[in-house]
Amino acid sequence: DAGVIQSPRHEVTEMGQEVTLRCKPISGHNSLFWYRQTMMRGLELLIYFNNNVPIDDSGMPEDRFSAKMPNASFSTLKIQPSEPRDSAVYFCASSLRTNRGPEQYFGPGTRLTVT
């Protein structure tokens, strides 16, 4: 299994540009999570999906952020327009949801720099 795949691995863009991050979860997993990690705030959950349906997007910072999961093997996180404060590492994780708790598997992350 290739694990969770994210692209791009690095993204440098100018303020105001649209940024799209992509994620392919582990085959067979039914939950997908988008996280943002910064030195100041640590690892923050932005949004998660169960069976392709968004369940909780309360962590999405503002309307500039949106996420979709059109099918079980693909998800996107879009920032439009991007701002310098969006600079962070964005992780996608997937899991097989159980009652006891998810053992989440993280992708390698996308390091986003907005200048």
Interface ranges with another protein (CB under 8 A): 33, 41-45, 48, 55-56, 91, 99-109
Least distance to another protein from the beta carbon of 29, Å?
14
Nearer of residues 59 and 81 to another protein, judged by Cβ: 59
* CB of 19 closer than 8 Å to CB of 2: no
* Closest CB to another protein among residues 1, 103: 103
Measured in degrees and rounded to the nearest 5, phi and psi for residue 47 equal -160, 150
Q: Tell how far CA 5 is from the center of its chain.
A: 11
CB 114, min distance to another protein, A: 21
Give the nearest distance from C-beta 11 to another protein in angstroms: 16
What is d(CA 89, CA 9) in angstroms, rounded to the nearest whole number? 9
Contact 72, 52 (CB under 8 A): yes
